[in-house]
Structure 1
Amino acid sequence: MHDIIVIGGGIAGISVAARLAPQAKVLLLEAEESLAYHASGRSAALYESNYGLASTVALSKASANYFHEANGGYLTPRGLMILGQPDEYQAFLSDTKTLGLEQISITEAQALVPILNPDTVSHASYHTSAWDIDTDRMVQDFARNIRAEGGRIVLRSPVIALERSSKGWIVSTPNAHFEAALVVNAAGAWVDNLAKLAGLSPLGFTPLRRSMARIPAPGGHDVATWPMFFGVGEQWYAKPDAGALIVSPAEEDAMPPMDAWADDMVLAEGLARYEAMVTEPVSRLEANWAGLRTFSPDRHLTIGFHGEDPSFFWFAGQGGYGFQTAPAASQLAADLILGRASDIDAATRAALNPRRFLP
């Protein structure tokens, strides 16, 4: 018998299980053969605290100390730049203001990213307050914390049944049955499916595919110090990665929960939008992949007890913000579960509460 079963081994499930393990007997179940296999393993891995809705920004900012200080810190400098064409000026100004960037000249932008095409790039803005996240070390540190506190992590254990018991829930996998007083639903794209297994109302989460391609360093440049750079309205983005460049069309195509893969046509369209802003064409791909970013109907994260059952807790809808919100979001979830006061303000907590979806 466990106190709490956390279902889902992405950054959401791992982080909340680590927060709960010092105070409760915790079991983490993951369907795949490794942690962070789906969306968490396919993240752009950027910490940019101004990115997202107000509630997301609040969680990201509340996570800053953890990212900079915990376990020696998880961040390395990257920087962020937005690029616009002549007919995108108003949208460019809006994005620049939202993300807190400063306008720079095209010459300054080319000094940061030498392949920018001055014939098509007419507006640029930039700031240094964006960092790469060491996501793998973060996942492994949370997992280590779970085990150090006596918690269990069981892989290759998809949940096939959730049944009520006199003590709470019986959670069944193909190989075993587990019992706990509380279930935490951190199953990523599968969160609504899990609620249905429990006989509870789903909340209407939508998994949205985002594709990525890895291309060789353009023109043989050393891209290590380049910032991440976006098109206006996040129509595409590019980010250095291990000596190469990741380029994404930044699409949001609704998909069923699945092990997603890139759509060739969508990827080609995104690469064309990127190529229009640079002087170096894409000659080949080194790899491509896709992940599912799962959002609630209002795109706020969802953190709290199910309105129909206080023994079922939602930790869902991270969208593309799972890593950058994880430290504060997991602390909030643990505080709510354990009945402790939270440092997160009341307005943000209300925006995240699943009860907002009650009729």
Structure 2
Amino acid sequence: MKADIVIIGAGMAGASLAAEIAGQASVLLLEAEDQPGYHATGRSAAFWEESYGGPLVQPLTSASGPFLGSPPPDFADRSFLSPRGALHIADAEGYEALEALQAQFAGTGVAMERLDRAALEAIVPGLRAEWDWGILESSCTDIDVARLHAAYLRKARVGGAVLVTNARVERAERVAAGWRLETRAGSVEAGILVNAAGAWADDVAMLAGAAALGIQPYRRTMVQLRTQPPASPDMPLVMDVRGRFYFKPEAGGRLWLSPHDETAVPACDCAPEELDVAIAIARFETAVDWTVEQVEHSWAGLRSFAPDRLPVYGFDADVEGLFWCAGQGGFGIQTAPAGAKLAASLLLGTPPDPSVAAIDPAPYLAGRFRN
């Protein structure tokens, strides 16, 4: 197999970048699993929230919003977003964090409305008395993650990119023309190697002779519950401003709940721990006086962060022909349109798409970690 560019990893990062560059170069998209998006993309909590990830991630999120809300007709026939809203709540110990959140995003265009106790009770009936303060971030939406990922894979395929699954890379070496890879699906030759391997990004880098950047996978737990009263479909995403839990309604009166855990783990097919499920429910019960009637399902996914918790785009500082598209943490899906366009510009050396032209890529460049 030969291509101008080989991308390792067909989750949201790799798929979106392949879609952006297909047609401008020959692209081979290698996926270690038998289906793309298995470890992180397919286990997302599925929301788009402008403040999520902090002020340096927000420009990528905000720039992605118009594309997700009104995609080009040849990409999708309808929006990937549906209204939700996010409610950040605080008890006495969280008041300073709430103030800091609002101050962080002052002047950014992210709408944040302070709410009093009466307004909070109207939005979340049964909210316990100690939660006295809140901020409503009305722009927050749900994302149809599976449809977005499929659309990117389809666009990549239409542009001529070839997806190969069950193709875990076992060896990578520099050759005169670029790279020669040995995978479980056979040998690959390419001019440029793109590392979009998510939790395995540092492993892939070291296979290619580059230094690891310290991209650490973390386990995040999700629990699907039935409660009494049932979760209202109109309720926003509810987040403890101190980062101890969040929950949001799902179809059929169900509730998705997370303890907002970040447990450092090796890159793996992770599963939820019983203790984390119990912690999630205990924290939920400190927020509302609802009864948990049934735990229907629980799962865990990987979120992989660089040391500064910003995404990593750009060519490696020391190894020629190695390009990074990794470290998207928990915001990789909501930033995918802008992130892919920015990364494509850096990879191909072309002017950035107008939607990201105002975004400075410097905070995200792979070379920032060079000693």
The TM-score, its normalising length taken from structure 2, stands at 0.92
Instruction: Give deviations 1:204-244, integer Å, cap 9, x for gaps.
Output: 1111111111101x214352111000112221000112231
Amino acid in structure 2 at the alignment position of 1:239: K
> Does residue 292 of structure 2 align to residue 292 of structure 1?
no
Number of positions where the alignment pairs a residue of Structure 1 with one of Structure 2: 357
Structure 1 residues 335-354: Cα deviation after superposition (integer angstroms, max 9, x where no partner) = 11111122546873111011
Pick the aligned partner of 1:261 from 271, 275, 282. 271
Equivalent positions of 1:158-173 (< 5 A) are 158-173=168-183
Q: Identify the residue that residue 84 of structure 2 maps to in structure 1.
A: 78
Change in 2 beyond 3 A, CA 1:8/1:134: same
Match of 1:37 in 2: 38
Deviation at 1:156? Answer: 1.5
Indicate yes or no: 2:233 matched with 1:224.
yes
Deviation at 1:90, TM superposition (A): 1.7
Question: Aligned partner of 1:115: which letter?
Answer: G
Q: Is the 8 A contact 2:90 2:242 kept in 1?
A: no
Unmatched runs of 5 consecutive residues or more in structure 1: none
Deviations 1:278-326 (A, max 9, x none): 0113233111111111111111110000011231100010000111110
Query: Which residue does the alignment assign to 1:93?
Result: 99
Q: Which runs of 5+ in 2 are unaligned?
A: 106-110
Letter in 1 for 2:89: L
Q: Where do 1:93-242 residues align within 5 Å?
A: 93-98=99-104, 100-117=111-128, 119-216=129-226, 218-242=227-251
User: 1:335, 1:254 → 2: CA distance?
Assistant: 32
Whole-Å separation in 2 of the counterparts to 1:96 and 1:272:
27
1:292-331 alignment to 2 at 5 Å? Answer: 292-331=302-341
Instruction: Give the Cα–Cα distance (whole angstroms) in 2 for the partners of residues 224 and 282 of structure 1.
Output: 17
Return the letter of the residue paired with 2:37: A
Q: Which residue of 2 aligns with 1:356?
A: 368
Letter in 1 for 2:220: R
Report Cα offsets for 1:134-191 as digits up to 9, x if no partner: 1111111111111111111111111111122221111221231111100110000000
Contact 2:59 2:359 in 1 (8 A): no
- 2:47 aligned residue: 46
Residues 1:347 and 1:44: Cα distance change in structure 2 (over 3 Å): same
Cα deviation 1:55-113 (Å, max 9, x = unaligned):
31111111122111113321000000011223322222223444642122333222222
Distance 2:103 2:251 in 1: 30
Structure 2 counterpart of 1:202, one-letter code: A
Q: Distance in 2 between matches of 1:183 and 1:324?
A: 25
Q: Which moved more, 1:253-262 or 1:67-76?
A: 67-76
Q: Which amino acid aligns with 2:312?
A: T
Identify the structure with the greater helix proportion. 1
Q: In the aligned structure 2, how far is the partner of 1:124 from the partner of 1:54?
A: 19
Question: Deviation at 1:22?
Answer: 1.7
1:7–1:187 CA contact under 8 A, matched in 2: yes
Q: Distance in 2 between matches of 1:43 and 1:251?
A: 14
* Distance (whole Å) between structure 2 residues aligned to residue 221 and residue 96 of structure 1: 31
Cα gap change, 1:224 to 1:347, in 2 (>3 Å): closer
Tell me, what secondary structure is at the counterpart of 1:285?
Answer: strand
Which residue type is aligned with residue 244 of structure 2? Q
Note if 1:278 corresponds to 2:293. no
* Range 348-357 or range 79-88, more displaced: 79-88
Higher mean displacement: 335-344 or 318-327: 335-344
Q: Is contact 1:55–1:352 with CA below 8 Å preserved after alignment?
A: no
Q: Percent identity of the aligned residues?
A: 38
Alpha-carbon separation, structure 1, partners of 2:349 and 2:295: 50
